[in-house]
Amino acid sequence: MSLRINSTAHVLHAFVNGKHIGNQHAENGKFNYVFEKDVKFKSGRNVIALLSIIVGLANYGAFFESKPAGITGPIFITGRNGDETIVKDLSAHKWSYKTGLNGFENQLFRT
């Protein structure tokens, strides 16, 4: 099986059941890419965590925050059953979203 994610993030890290399965970054100014990795899912419930990184550089100019970037979706799991390819779209499933940095929340900059 594989996990496929459409992204416009500068960097994307993917984790399945707490294990880092890979990362990808935009290359040569092309921020629209597809991350795809083979994954071994366990029977039952699986947890997919995606870390989308956006880097604010000085040359981006005003209104950087209004430019679309991040995980645009859709997000698919694909697998095979004999000669048949099975595609499951996870986009409509429940996702949670958290912004910020762990180091910032823990005020590591004060040490």
76-106, pLDDT tens digit by residue?
A: 999 999 999 999 999 888 888 777 777 667 7
* Closest alpha carbon to 35 in 67, 81, 73, 1: 73
3-state secondary structure of 61: coil
| Residues 96, 49: Cα–Cα separation, whole Å | 9
Domains and CATH numbers, the chain: 2-110 (2.60.120)
- pLDDT tens across 52-81, in order? 888 766 566 677 667 777 888 899 999 999
Instruction: Decide if 34 contacts 7 (C-beta within 8 A).
Output: yes
pTM score above 0.85 = no
Sign of CA dihedral 29, 31, 87, 98: positive
Cis peptide before 68 (omega within 30 of 0): no
